[in-house]
Chains A and B, each alone.
Chain A
Amino acid sequence: MPMAAQPISRGRRRALATGAGLAASLVVRPAAAAEDLAAAVAAFTAGAQTRAGKVTFDVPALVENGNAVPVTVTVDSPMTANDRVAMVAIFNEKNPERGVAQFAFGPRAGRASVSTHIRLAASQKLAAVARMSDGTHWAAYVDVVVTLAACVDGDPV
């Protein structure tokens, strides 16, 4: 569930307030980013609620470098003419843009599964949303921790 949906408890607010200016920036940014993720998902579903289930979003829990993260989205679907996955869309929370990629499964598609490598600018939440042929939407959310490479070049080459 998006972080913005949960209210901040009084105890937590007090603890954060002692951090003064730093606390303010810590509170505001994640909430705004989470709302953007929810908004991006809502735009894809045209406002419809997503349901939990059917979607398996395979992302490594810990990533050594955010430049290429292997991910796989698999949807539980018989992929018959009348009962299939129409599209899968991947969204992120903290990159400069929310959208990552959208995949359409055509009539020649096999299993409802696609793998790719994506970029992650920071540790964050990701969403994989499937639109089924009956119009329903199903979503899976994962949290990824991204570490960065040590020893970065001074020059591009």
Chain B
Amino acid sequence: MARALIKVPPSARRGEVIEIRALIAHPMETGYRLDATGRPLPRDILRRFSCRYNGELVVGAELHPAVAANPYFAFSAIATESGTLTFTWEGDNGFAQTETVLLAVT
């Protein structure tokens, strides 16, 4: 389990645009860096990220090695009803992680 930090407002008014920020610890090893003997360090990156709101997609991303280490994404959603925001990251070497955050909408 990688350390992840997610910032979502704890509550929102119906119709409000809410800012969502997600940061996860991951080296995003590109596969182009060489070790001390000159051999490439094997690629180990996150490939996909998604944020869903009560199951429906907010933002989905396909990632290349040019995404920086400890990937950060900021985007927005429209608060419609209370529910769950689900964040998933998938990547090389079977990496898969899901975090959920509750959103209260009044």
List residues of A whose CB falls within 8 A of some B CB: 67-70, 72, 92, 95-97, 99-111, 113-120, 155
Q: Which residues on A sit within 8 Å (CB–CB) of B77?
A: 108-110
B75 to chain A, nearest CB (A): 5
Mostly helix, strand, loop or mixed at chain B's interface?
A: strand
A11 to chain B, nearest CB (A): 36
CA distance A97 to B59 in the complex (A): 23
Mostly helix, strand, loop or mixed at chain A's interface?
A: strand
Q: Which residues on B sit within 8 Å (CB–CB) of A114?
A: 59, 61, 73-75
CA distance A118 to B67 in the complex (A): 4
Number of interface residues of B (CB under 8 A): 32
CA distance A100 to B28 in the complex (A): 12
Instruction: Please determine whether A118 and B68 come into contact, CB atoms closer than 8 angstroms.
Output: yes
CA distance A96 to B77 in the complex (A): 33
Q: Which residues on A sit within 8 Å (CB–CB) of B68?
A: 67-69, 116-119
Instruction: Please determine whether A103 and B74 come into contact, CB atoms closer than 8 angstroms.
Output: no
Instruction: Please determine whether B75 and A109 come into contact, CB atoms closer than 8 angstroms.
Output: yes
